[in-house]
Amino acid sequence: MKTIKIKDSNKEIQIGKVVCVGRNYADHAKEMGNEVPDKFPIVFMKTATCMINSGENVVHPSYSENLHHEIELVLLIGATVKNANSKEAENAIVSYAVGLDMTLRDLQFKSKEKGEPWTFAKIFDTSGVLSEFVSADEYKLTGEEKIYLSVNNEIKQEATVGLMLFNPIEIIKNISSRMTLEEGDLIFTGTPAGVGRVVKGDKLSGGIENIGKVETTIA
Ligand code: ZN
């Protein structure tokens, strides 16, 4: 998957870089044994080649024993922004989606222990699952939206988007102070508590109220 279609629009947008925010919900930072950040949390990257559409399978890599689900709000950037102020950051968001940031937790922990980057924990093929995209002109985010994920019909993650430590505007201001963001770039905004292991055959179903739904099976 290399291009995105926004619901009710003919425009097709090529996926650029994919920037992900870590530890953006206090309860998730705690469950991972991390302190709740008081300044902008960590950022890491995925790639366009990771991305699949809702309904396609996540292929479990053979070199990991601990594949985790992370349900997240995803922002689509529609303009070039660098050192964005609040208004520019807000205008840069053209669309919202729901995403799964699938993570190889064992590889991530090993890398953390050694003080090495966790790239390989995050960029395997099919490690990003995307719902439909909803235009930001059509829907204004309130923060009240429920974000949830169930595995085999059992609810695992449940929160509201407003529990993010840094909201979408603050996220774009922070990221664009370090790198230029462009049309087609995606931002995964972090996951709430309740992440956990999934195995082959598991069926994942999640979403964000008024934004969309994402479904996948682990293959
Ligand atoms: Zn994540």
User: Over 80: is that where the pLDDT of 1 sits?
Assistant: no
* Lowest-confidence pick of 1-10, 65-74, 82-91, 157-166: 1-10
Whether 27 has a pLDDT exceeding 70, the answer reads: yes
Residue 217 has pLDDT above 90, yes or no: yes
Instruction: Return d(Cα 122, Cα 102) in angstroms, integer.
Output: 7
Q: What is the pTM assigned to this prediction? A: 0.96
| % of residues, the chain, pLDDT over 70 | 100
List Cβ neighbours of 176 (8 Å cut-off, separation of 6 or more). 81, 82, 83, 84, 89, 92
Q: Please indicate whether residue 107 or residue 8 has the higher confidence score (pLDDT).
A: 107
The whole-angstrom separation of Cα 165 and Cα 26 is 7
Q: Where is 171: in which H helix or E strand?
A: helix 168-176
Q: Report CA(194)–ligand 1 centroid distance (Å).
A: 12
The residue with tokens 């968001």 is 93
Q: Is the pLDDT of residue 38 over 90?
A: no
Amino acid 122: pLDDT: 98
174 CA to centre of ligand 1 in angstroms: 17
Please, which pLDDT band fits residue 77 given cuts at 50, 70 and 90? very high
Tell how far the Cα of 163 is from the centroid of ligand 1, in angstroms. Answer: 15
Please report, rounded to a whole number, the percentage of residues in the chain having pLDDT higher than 90. Answer: 87
Name the residue among 64, 201, 166, 164 with its Cα closest to residue 124: 64
Cα of 92 to ligand 1 centre, how many Å? Answer: 21
Q: How confident is the model at residue 177 (pLDDT cuts 50, 70, 90)?
A: very high
CATH number of domain containing 32: 3.90.850.10
> Region 107-130: what's the mean pLDDT?
97
Closest CA to 51 of 93, 84, 4: 4
- Computed over every residue of the chain, the mean pLDDT equals 95
Distance separating alpha carbons of residues 76 and 88, to the nearest angstrom: 14
pLDDT of residue 16: 97
Confidence grade of residue 36 (pLDDT, cut at 50, 70, 90): confident
- How many domains are contained in the chain? 1
Ligand 1 center to 128 CA (angstroms): 10
Query: Across residues 147-176, what is the average pLDDT?
Result: 97
Q: 14 CA to middle of ligand 1, Å?
A: 22
Residue 82 has pLDDT above 70, yes or no: yes
- Compute the distance from residue 24 Cα to the ligand 1 centre, in Å: 9
Cα(41) to centroid of ligand 1, in Å?
Answer: 12
Q: What is the mean pLDDT of residues 49-58?
A: 97
Q: How far apart are CA 148 and CA 139, in angstroms?
A: 19
**Which residues constitute the domain of residue 25?**
3-217
Q: What does the alpha-carbon distance between residue 70 and residue 91 come to, in Å, rounded to a whole number?
A: 27
